[in-house]
Amino acid sequence: MTSYLRPRTLEEATVARAAYPDWMVLAGGTDLMVNANHKPTPPGILDLWRLGELGFIRVEGDAIVIGAGTTWHEVERHAAIREKLRPLALAAREIGALQIQARGTLGGNVGTSSPVGDSLPVLLALDAQIEVASVRGRRTIPYHAYCTGYRKTQLASDELIVSATIPLPSAATRTTWRKVGTRRAQSISKVMGAAAITLDGGTVVSARIALGAVADRPMRITAVEDAVRGLPLAQAADAARTALHTAITPIDDVRSTADYRRGVAENLVARFFTS
């Protein structure tokens, strides 16, 4: 029989996580339940759904801190996120459809760490920090170092994800997020990505470009970032497209061919600079 624990505090949760590292950590369950019938039954379930200390959105100085248990619906509806972290609000609106957005959480997207996790390029492009907790204490992991391979992360077996801290882009920085899927809703991304482009007049001072679904993990595309630095916006789109062509080696799979993914990714990155 599977055991079940629903902690009332984060401290209780970390104690349970340390005591039962082989239990399933459950948030909204929208990733976990899809495969539940095809995987061995876990010895226990540690249910974090609606754990108060993980469900919050706070503006703190020049950043917004989002608790791991915050749902995509809550992210999408939050006024400060809509106004100041537009790429995250755009990603939240396209994760699954309303039912998935009502249950799926930021912590779940980060926890699964799929290369097609729609929020993950946003965390990369906006230089987010992930806070994690265990009975040993708390630590902060820069998101660019968090994901170490295909669905592999730095999270230790006794740790839980607490929050993501996302710095607010400066007034000179344009940010966006785009997704290409087979349809408008309930669509797993063929390619998606986020951009933070800092301009001086019409010239690109710097750019942070991150894509998902083009490698085993979400990735920053530094070749594009280098290629556009110092260029007038009008020339940046073509430079970005050219640089991207050799910067990624997408895979063939049931959803798309590598050639299609590369072409779509080139268009997507070029559009970061044109619209």
Ligand X SMILES: Cc1cc2nc3c(=O)[nH]c(=O)nc-3n(C[C@H](O)[C@H](O)[C@H](O)COP(=O)(O)OP(=O)(O)OC[C@H]3O[C@@H](n4cnc5c(N)ncnc54)[C@H](O)[C@@H]3O)c2cc1C
Task: Tell me how far apart the terminal alpha carbons of the chain are, to the nearest angstrom.
Answer: 55
Query: 91 near 177, Cβ under 8 Å?
Result: yes
Phi, psi of 119, deg, nearest 5: -85, -15
Tell me: does residue 161 bind ligand X (CB under 6 A).
yes
Tell me: does residue 31 bind ligand X (CB under 6 A).
yes
CB of 99 or CB of 274, closer to ligand X? 99
CB of 105 or CB of 176, closer to ligand X? 105
3-state secondary structure of 94: coil
Tell me: does residue 118 bind ligand X (CB under 6 A).
yes
**What angle separates helix 233-247 from helix 258-272, to the nearest 10 degrees?**
160
Q: How far is the CB of 4 from ligand X (least distance, A)?
A: 14
CB of 24 or CB of 223, closer to ligand X? 24
Give the full edge-to-edge strand order of the sheet including 44-47.
3-5, 44-47, 24-26
In angstroms, the CA 267 to CA 225 distance is 15
Tell me: does residue 1 bind ligand X (CB under 6 A).
no
Task: Count, in order, helices (H) and strands (E) of the chain.
Answer: 11, 14
Structure tokens at 228: 């556009």
Closest chain position to ligand X (CB): 108
Tell me: does residue 115 bind ligand X (CB under 6 A).
no
Tell me: does residue 112 bind ligand X (CB under 6 A).
yes
Tell me: does residue 25 bind ligand X (CB under 6 A).
yes
For ligand X, the binding residue among 107, 169, 193, 218 (CB under 6 A) is 107
Residue 50 has, within 13 A of its CA and on its CB side, a CA count of 3
For ligand X, the binding residue among 7, 10, 16, 27 (CB under 6 A) is 27
Q: What amino acid is encoded at 68 in this protein?
A: A
In angstroms, the CA 82 to CA 115 distance is 24
CB of 54 or CB of 126, closer to ligand X? 54
Tell me: does residue 95 bind ligand X (CB under 6 A).
yes
Q: How far is the CB of 191 from ligand X (least distance, A)?
A: 13
- Identify the DSSP state of 23: S
CB of 121 or CB of 169, closer to ligand X? 121
For ligand X, the binding residue among 10, 16, 45, 48 (CB under 6 A) is 48
Tell me: does residue 108 bind ligand X (CB under 6 A).
yes
Angle at 27 between CA 189 and CA 196, to 5 degrees: 45
Phi, psi of 198, deg, nearest 5: -95, 130
Tell me: does residue 130 bind ligand X (CB under 6 A).
no
3-state secondary structure of 251: coil
CB of 120 or CB of 195, closer to ligand X? 120
CB of 67 or CB of 250, closer to ligand X? 67
Tell me: does residue 169 bind ligand X (CB under 6 A).
no
Report the interface residues with ligand X, using CB under 6 A: 25-32, 34, 48, 54, 68, 95-96, 100, 103-105, 107-109, 111-112, 117-118, 160-161, 186, 188
